């Protein structure tokens, strides 16, 4: 019996010693060295075998990259919120070693060698031969792992062979390109590369198995037009500790937090974008502080031929086949899509074109014709045998150009460009695809669950060990069974909702809070900070000092199940824009339904409108930021979201006076109970800010209702008059825009009216021309006819133009 118990214990210990999360946590009493001396080695099997930099920030050791697969790596010692580590360098990213008997040894000759148990030759080495002196391996405070002689002369350093990450003070040179990882689970070399090109310019290139191409800087324009210089005689670039990036090709940027000292890195991510990150140490997350490409669909290669790319906020990119085409390889979008129809598209006058507004496919022009009409462009494409379609673009010169394409690659949706794609299709498909006027298909790039690496390399056959091995396997299996039993009983004793919670958390990516937790954080809902249609908002503080705004949703107490609420909130959680409020999590326990948001120090626009803090510059920035947030909701999201209650109370202001739109998406939530077929059955919104079409049953509700409300908010910011207050309705029969228009008419073409309508209580000067344009935009937005109102992205464009114009006029003075 005693031996049986002993046997169990051995089994358990063996199992535990191989469980990665236990072996990677460092022991408390023992502090690992930062230096490896000549003649010694680090073993993959010994969990204490790693080097830590003197400041504790970086660790070098064997990192588990898959089942029985290890890479010798350098990573940030402190784990992130999700318990993962951020790897900054790898010696053998493409050839992981076995989890048994693999070693990194520093030879007396100064060479550093990585050996795998099963391989006679080293997997990796620093290739230093016949060095006269022996050297030490040092894990430096900067994250540089280097070999140095006694006199500090450096003979090898990891900074010279970067993988996908550049640390501050690590130079990027002509010999040290960065190469992305394959995927989030496969850390071997991927297809995206950041490098100095032959003309001395830093570029990003996609070099895939089927397609290749440079995508940054924008290949449509020259390096000079992109602000780069080709004249440098050296090729080097570096990020300093405070977030200033300087490159020999005149690429300069500052990270958004550039005056702060924080841990930083620059990484070529698996989606092909090049980003700067800073560590938010309190939350344990990396925050993006700069990125090369704003619209990640401009990165080439991810969606193959005959497919298009669109961005799903929070998830990344999504590929879709163009109509009448199907995916070639169900697991890999880079193969693209093939036609479902017979492809004899040659010179057939019967062919017709499918229209895709706001789409573009980059490159592969068979013919380019400037200044042409749509009909002529169609003829051009019909006349070319292999023309697959054309891009019809409105150029800045004031005419349309025709780009006839012989291949459809790098397709993407774009709201900023003013062009359309027309795809050629055989007449026979016309009846089938009449309804398909949007690009169809599915497949989130990151939803593909990639398998982890499994090394199937055999260990050296050793007959003596064979029986030991089978005994070990036996004990392992036994131990594993035991642990499973223990875990099973442990969980059974806990309530079911706990396990469900774990599942939801993993599925949605944001946190599920318990009601008790939120009750405690808000001190039993004591500090009310706002009240809206959906519910009451309280201020709360979590034990980790994070301050949150917690909204108790009063309207859906009983009607909705957690799964339904979650489905809706997940959509909101995916929205991610600097001018939209961040949702951290939710709570759904019986009748309690709550949402947890980030807290805004400066409260809402409504609270600030009549304070002296908001000068004209800030007001303009708030107008612009709010427009950007709404434009994102309306146009950049996959599921278009209408806000339906834009008003100063729902525009919150952070500590830097940036606006963030709050309370979006709730209108959709509210409509769930019973009224599925018609999305909007009753008018919603707030008196004074509601578009006129809400009052008419037969008028469709579109994103223009938000444009209207936005226009009213803008007028309120300019004039200081609330559309909902009685003071105004006495003076001017209701609508704020009619009051402004009246003043305009009275002035009869002279400019005095501007001074009259502008809020005199606001401090600071304003540019009269800029103000006039601002008022005009606001009036257009609050037009009674919804078709006369611009879209939110047009508003953003107009406001940006005001800024440029006034900069220009200032320069002229």
Extract the annotated binding site for ATP: 551
- Nearest residue (CB) to ligand NAG, 81 versus 330: 330
- Nearest residue (CB) to ligand NAG, 418 versus 497: 418
Site for ligand NAG in 516-545 (CB under 6 A): none
The minimum distance between CB 36 and ligand NAG, in angstroms, equals 15
The minimum distance between CB 757 and ligand NAG, in angstroms, equals 28
The minimum distance between CB 260 and ligand NAG, in angstroms, equals 4
DSSP characters for 152-210? --EEEEGGGS-SSEE-TTPPEETT--EEEESSSS--SEEEEEEEE-TTS-EEEEEE-SS
The minimum distance between CB 345 and ligand NAG, in angstroms, equals 7
CA distances from 55 to 29, 34, 59 (A): 17, 10, 10
Residues binding ligand NAG: number (CB under 6 A): 35
260 binds ligand NAG, rule: CB under 6 A: yes
Distance CA 355, CA 608 (A): 46
Site for ligand NAG in 339-358 (CB under 6 A): 339, 343
* Binds ligand NAG (CB under 6 A): choice among 27, 120, 451, 543: 451
Contact (CB, 8 A) for 391 and 344: no
The helix/strand/coil state of 467 is helix
CA distances from 705 to 69, 109, 642, 686, 689 (A): 56, 75, 8, 12, 9
The minimum distance between CB 338 and ligand NAG, in angstroms, equals 4
- Nearest residue (CB) to ligand NAG, 319 versus 728: 319
Active site members: 645
The minimum distance between CB 424 and ligand NAG, in angstroms, equals 8
The minimum distance between CB 573 and ligand NAG, in angstroms, equals 23
388 binds ligand NAG, rule: CB under 6 A: yes
HSE-up (13 A, CA, CB side) for residue 692: 11
With CA atoms as reference, report the closest residue to 316 among 48, 634, 638: 638
- Nearest residue (CB) to ligand NAG, 270 versus 641: 270
* Binds ligand NAG (CB under 6 A): choice among 175, 332, 376, 442: 332
The helix/strand/coil state of 766 is coil
Site for ligand NAG in 179-198 (CB under 6 A): 182, 186, 188-189
Which stretch of DSSP H or E encloses residue 411?
Answer: strand 411-413
- Cis? peptide before 326, omega within 30° of 0: no
Site for ligand NAG in 300-319 (CB under 6 A): 305-306
Classify strands 51-52 and 58-67 as parallel, antiparallel or unpaired.
Answer: antiparallel
- Nearest residue (CB) to ligand NAG, 168 versus 313: 168
With CA atoms as reference, report the closest residue to 399 among 372, 439, 430: 372
With CA atoms as reference, report the closest residue to 756 among 773, 735, 777, 771: 771
CA distances from 15 to 63, 68, 258, 477, 685 (A): 18, 13, 46, 9, 60
* Binds ligand NAG (CB under 6 A): choice among 105, 126, 140, 709: 140
371 binds ligand NAG, rule: CB under 6 A: yes
Site for ligand NAG in 147-166 (CB under 6 A): 154, 157
* Binds ligand NAG (CB under 6 A): choice among 11, 110, 336, 736: 336
- Nearest residue (CB) to ligand NAG, 157 versus 702: 157
Q: Partners of 115 in the beta sheet?
A: 103
Distance CA 217, CA 201 (A): 9
Residues 6+ apart with CB under 8 A from 259: 242, 243
Q: Which stretch binds ligand NAG (CB under 6 A): 4-12, 98-106, 334-342, 591-599?
A: 334-342
Contact (CB, 8 A) for 257 and 278: yes
Site string (409-428) toward ligand NAG, x via CB under 6 A: ---------x----------
Interacting residues toward ligand NAG by CB under 6 A? 140-142, 144, 146, 154, 157, 182, 186, 188-189, 244, 252-254, 257-258, 260, 305-306, 329, 331-332, 336, 338-339, 343, 371, 388, 394, 397, 399, 418, 451, 453
């Amino acid at each position: 019996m005693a031996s049986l118990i002993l046997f169990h214990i051995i089994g358990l210990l063996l199992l535990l010693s191989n469980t990665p999360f236990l072996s990677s946590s460092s022991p408390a009493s023992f502090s690992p060295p930062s230096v490896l001396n000549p003649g010694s080695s680090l073993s993959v099997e010994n969990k204490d075998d790693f080097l830590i930099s003197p400041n504790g920030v970086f660790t070098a050791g064997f990192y588990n990259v898959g089942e029985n697969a290890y890479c010798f790596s350098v990573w940030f010692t402190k784990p992130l919120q999700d318990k993962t580590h951020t790897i900054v360098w790898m010696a053998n990213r493409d050839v992981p070693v076995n989890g048994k008997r693999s070693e990194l040894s520093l030879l007396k000759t100064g060479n550093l060698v990585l050996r795998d148990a099963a391989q006679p030759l080293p997997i990796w080495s620093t290739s230093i031969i016949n060095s006269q002196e022996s050297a030490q391996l040092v894990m430096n405070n900067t994250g540089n792992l280097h070999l140095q002689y006694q006199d500090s002369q450096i003979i090898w350093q990891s900074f010279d062979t970067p993988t996908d990450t550049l640390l501050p003070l690590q130079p990027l040179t002509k010999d040290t390109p960065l190469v992305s990882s394959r995927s989030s689970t496969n850390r071997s070399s991927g297809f995206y590369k950041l490098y100095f090109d032959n003309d001395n310019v830093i570029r990003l290139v996609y070099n895939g198995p089927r397609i290749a191409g440079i995508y940054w800087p924008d290949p449509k324009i020259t390096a000079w037009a992109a602000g780069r210089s080709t004249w440098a005689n050296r090729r080097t670039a570096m990020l300093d500790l405070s977030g200033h990036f300087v490159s020999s090709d005149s690429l300069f940027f500052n990270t958004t937090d550039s005056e702060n000292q924080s841990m930083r890195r620059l990484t070529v991510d698996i989606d092909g974008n090049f980003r700067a990150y800073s560590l938010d140490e309190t939350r344990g997350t990396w925050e993006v502080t700069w990125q090369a490409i704003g619209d990640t669909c401009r990165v080439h290669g991810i969606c193959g031929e005959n497919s298009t790319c669109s961005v799903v906020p929070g998830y990344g990119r999504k590929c879709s086949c163009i109509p009448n085409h199907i995916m070639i390889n169900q697991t890999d979008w880079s193969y693209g899509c093939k036609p479902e129809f017979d492809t004899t598209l040659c010179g057939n006058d019967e062919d017709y074109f499918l229209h895709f507004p706001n789409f573009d496919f980059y490159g592969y022009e068979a013919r380019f014709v400037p200044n042409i009409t749509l009909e002529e462009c169609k003829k051009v494409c019909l006349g070319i045998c292999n023309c697959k379609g054309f891009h019809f673009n409105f150029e800045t010169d004031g005419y349309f150009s025709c780009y006839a394409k012989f291949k459809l690659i790098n397709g993407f949706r774009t709201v900023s460009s003013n062009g359309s794609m027309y795809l050629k299709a055989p007449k026979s498909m016309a009846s089938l695809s009449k309804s398909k006027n949007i690009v169809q298909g599915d497949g989130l790039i990151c939803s593909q669950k990639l398998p982890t690496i499994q090394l199937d390399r055999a260990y050296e056959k050793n007959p003596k060990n064979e029986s030991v091995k089978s005994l070990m396997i036996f004990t392992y299996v036994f131990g594993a069974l035991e642990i499973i039993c223990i875990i099973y009983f442990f969980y059974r004793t806990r309530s079911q909702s706990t396990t469900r919670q774990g599942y939801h958390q993993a599925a949605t990516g944001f946190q599920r809070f318990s009601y008790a937790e939120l009750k405690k954080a808000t001190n039993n809902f004591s500090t009310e900070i706002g009240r809206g249609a959906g519910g009451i908002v309280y201020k709360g503080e979590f034990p980790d000092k994070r301050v949150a705004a917690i909204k108790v949703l009063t309207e859906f107490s009983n009607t909705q199940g957690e799964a339904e609420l979650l489905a809706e909130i997940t959509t909101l959680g995916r929205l991610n824009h600097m001018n939209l409020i961040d949702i951290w999590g939710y709570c759904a326990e019986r009748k309690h339904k709550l949402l947890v948001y980030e807290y805004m120090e400066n409260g809402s626009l409504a609270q600030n409108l009549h304070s002296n803090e908001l000068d004209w510059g800030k007001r303009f920035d708030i107008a612009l930021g709010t427009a950007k947030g709404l434009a994102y909701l309306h146009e950049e999201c996959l599921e278009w979201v209408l806000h339906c209650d834009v008003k100063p109370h729902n525009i919150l202001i952070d500590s830097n006076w940036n606006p963030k739109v709050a309370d979006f998406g709730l209108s959709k939530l509210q409509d769930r109970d019973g009224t599925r077929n018609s999305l909007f059955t009753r008018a919603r919104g707030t008196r004074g800010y509601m578009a006129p079409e809400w009052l008419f049953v037969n008028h469709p509700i579109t994103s223009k209702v938000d444009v209207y409300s936005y226009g009213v908010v803008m007028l309120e910011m300019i004039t200081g008059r609330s559309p909902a207050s009685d003071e105004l309705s006495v003076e001017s029969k209701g609508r704020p825009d009619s009051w402004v228009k009246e003043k305009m008419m009275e002035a009869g073409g002279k400019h005095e009216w501007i001074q009259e309508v502008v809020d005199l209580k606001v401090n600071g000067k304003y540019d009269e021309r800029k103000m006039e344009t601002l008022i005009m935009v606001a009036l257009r937005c609050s037009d009674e006819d919804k078709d006369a109102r611009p879209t939110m992205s047009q508003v953003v464009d107009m406001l940006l133009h005001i800024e440029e114009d006034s900069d220009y006029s200032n320069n002229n003075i």
